Amino acid sequence: MAREQLNSASYNWNAFPDRPQLASALAGRVADTLTKAIAGRGTALLAVSGGTTPAKFFAALSAAPIAWDKVIVTLVDERFVPASSPRSNAGLVAANLLQNAAKAARFVPLYHEAVGIEDAAASDDAALRSLPWPLDVVILGMGPDGHTASFFPDADDLPKLLDPASDRIILPVHAVSAGEPRLTLTLARIIDAGFIALHIEGEDKRTAFDGAAASGPRKPIRAVLDASPKPVEVFWAP
Ligand SMILES: O=C(O)[C@H](O)[C@@H](O)[C@H](O)[C@H](O)COP(=O)(O)O
């Protein structure tokens, strides 16, 4: 059970005593939401983030006994690297989520060979239009700098990524702090999701979130909190 519930208008804080309990609770919540979506429209669309945080959650979710053959999984963002790269979010999802029962899900990656990140983003944007938007579930992570998805504070054209009225699905990202060029869902597609979770772990991330959620210079995660029409469900463990 969540140890601590602190609610505000823009987010609900769900704290857990440890990371395994968070993984189990978040996996249960996501599985229930996907099942309801399938009951309602015959399919469910899930977008997950990469990084080092989600592995335990992915493993727990992969075992959920739901109709995975009716679930489409895609990525919130991707580094411009092939799935064979240790930096690949598609590789992380393949190894940790698309296993066990979840092996039956359809996975839609973002990376593919292209002349450059702009071409990859344009073809992704066209190809992903055929998916059953809006997202039913989106799982966000957050960096210590308050970035989420690939909305890095130093990204070129950050306002375009954060435009809540954008009709784009995927945009390219150039940001020195990101390492390689990125492909990201736009904020507009993220806030349209039926269930938005932010999965963060550790005291440093809690401090960073508290700082970003408070007043002061607006961090990208705050743009999501401010633009979302429903509270973001924050799942945190020490
Ligand atoms: O591609 C990525 O890196 C993610 O999508 C990114 O937004 C991630 O969620 C944060 O950077 C947190 O990453 P960690 O889980 O490694 O702290």
Q: What is the ipTM of this complex?
A: 0.96
Pairing of strands 137-140, 71-75: unpaired
- At 217 the pLDDT is 79
**Region for 100 from its dihedrals, namely left if φ exceeds 0, alpha if ψ lies in -120 to 50, beta otherwise:** left
Q: What is the domain extent for residue 63?
A: 11-237
Q: Name all residues whose Cβ lies below 6 A of ligand 1.
A: 49-53, 76-77, 89, 141-143, 148-149
Q: How far apart are CA 106 and CA 116, in angstroms?
A: 26
Q: What DSSP string runs through 125-180?
A: HHHHTTS-PSPSEEEE---TTS--TT--TT-TTHHHHT-TT---SEEEE--GGGSS
Per-residue model confidence as pLDDT tens digits over 100-126 = 999 999 999 999 999 999 999 999 999
- At 1 the pLDDT is 43
**How many Cβ atoms sit within 10 Å of the Cβ of residue 154?**
12
> Does residue 157 belong to any structural domain of this protein?
yes
> Does residue 2 belong to any structural domain of this protein?
no
Cβ 38 vs Cβ 70: under 8 Å: yes
Count of domains observed in the chain: 1
Pick the closest to residue 213 from 226, 203, 200, 204 (CA basis).
Answer: 226
| 3-state secondary structure at position 32 | helix
- At 7 the pLDDT is 58
Taking the CA of residue 53 as reference, the ligand 1 atom at the shortest distance is: 15
What's the gap in Å between 41 CA and the centre of ligand 1? 30
CATH number of the domain within which 198 lies: 3.40.50.1360
Nearest protein CA to atom 7 of ligand 1, as residue: 149
- At 9 the pLDDT is 81
Among 19, 74, 110, 148, residue to substitute to test ligand 1 (most atoms within 8 Å of Cβ): 148
Distances (CA, A) of 39 to 44, 159, 205: 9, 36, 35
- At 230 the pLDDT is 95
- At 45 the pLDDT is 98
> Does residue 213 belong to any structural domain of this protein?
yes
> Does residue 6 belong to any structural domain of this protein?
no
Among 19, 48, 49, 177, residue to substitute to test ligand 1 (most atoms within 8 Å of Cβ): 49
Q: Which residues of the chain have pLDDT under 70?
A: 1-8
Q: Which residues contact 208 (CB under 8 A, 6 or more apart)?
A: 142, 143, 144, 145, 146
> Does residue 1 belong to any structural domain of this protein?
no
